[in-house]
Amino acid sequence: MLLAFYALNAIASPVDPSAADELVHTPGGMLPKSNIHTVPEGGKVVHSANEVRLLDADGTVLHVAPLKGSKPRFNLPNGPAIKPSLDSRNLQSATIAAIVEAPSILSFISEWPLPPLPQVNSGQLLMYFAALAPPTVDALIQPTLQYGVSAAGGGPFWGIASWFITEDQAYVTNLTQLTPGSETLQFFVVNEDEFLGTPGTHVWSAGFQTSAAELEVQTTEVFNVAIVALEITNAITLGNLPNTPTPISGISILETNRDSFSPIPWSLSNDTADGITINHPPPLFTGDESLFFRY
């Protein structure tokens, strides 16, 4: 999911068929290289009912993509079966996830320690994210921690970027490389309607405690599905993953009335055949929950 850093021209140009055939990795599955768009600093993504626009910091339109139809990317709890975007459940291509639909979401915040580097590097891609989606789960706002190479760039190190993904387009901030150590990351997706919203639209700010990977997304849909996930691509053994569990603590979902959505009734999707699970221990107190990835 990170090999070269793909930046697009400021104005959309006709797609080269050969380029369109080249698929690259995103945290929502494989997409054509030409459908990956870099969000400039201060820019934003505007997602309406029939198109997605990428704007520069001064409001200049950099790219417009029509929406062609709904393509759900995760199974919605208690809903009809939906095929995940990544097909097989093995270390070559696996998704381990917790997902929940809340009545409404004002903010979704969690804290992640920076995992140790995998002991074995064989070209694997690991992408951890805490995302919001609409009830149709056909779009994702997702701050992402990654190891490996994706459409955003990368290498054998941990890096962060924020993504917005629709059925066939992806918008991503510049990738920021992290220094190994005891750093704790705060993932957030926060509703900014109180300050930036207009009638019929919603504004979301996503990223980390650093402004380097901050992303602003404007939508017409309500995003009230929370997802915590690990996507694994091209791994061979468990040595391609961190050698200690990855805890996600301080998970907080606030509803628009500012009440805490707790306890969170997560629906869990595990890869038990490969020994990779996501666990939800009972919360110690209201509004402060945890999840654990175990390998």
pLDDT along the chain (295 residues), means of 10: 23 36 90 96 95 97 88 52 42 92 97 95 97 95 98 97 95 94 90 85 94 92 96 95 96 95 94 90 82 96
- Collapsing DSSP to helix, strand or coil, 257 comes out as coil
What's the chain's Rg over C-alpha atoms?
Answer: 18
DSSP class per residue in 81-95: ----SS---BTTEEE
- Collapsing DSSP to helix, strand or coil, 35 comes out as helix
Residue 71, pLDDT score: 64
- Collapsing DSSP to helix, strand or coil, 34 comes out as helix
Q: Cα separation of 148 and 124, whole Å?
A: 6
| Residues 164, 141 contacting (CB under 8 angstroms) | yes
Name the strand (E) or helix (H) holding 161.
Answer: strand 153-165
Task: Name which of 204, 208, 178 is nearest 193 in CA terms.
Answer: 204
Q: Which residues pair with 99 in a beta bridge?
A: 227, 267
Residue 70, pLDDT score: 65
Q: Cα separation of 22 and 104, whole Å?
A: 38
pTM of the model: 0.86
Residue 134, pLDDT score: 96
Q: Which domains does the chain have, with CATH numbers?
A: 91-294 (2.60.120)
Q: Which long-range contacts (CB under 8 A, 24 or more apart) does 255-263 make?
A: 255/102, 255/103, 255/104, 255/105, 255/106, 256/104, 256/105, 256/106, 256/191, 257/104, 258/106, 260/286, 260/287, 261/102, 261/103, 261/105, 262/286, 262/287, 262/289, 263/289
| Residues 53, 187 contacting (CB under 8 angstroms) | no
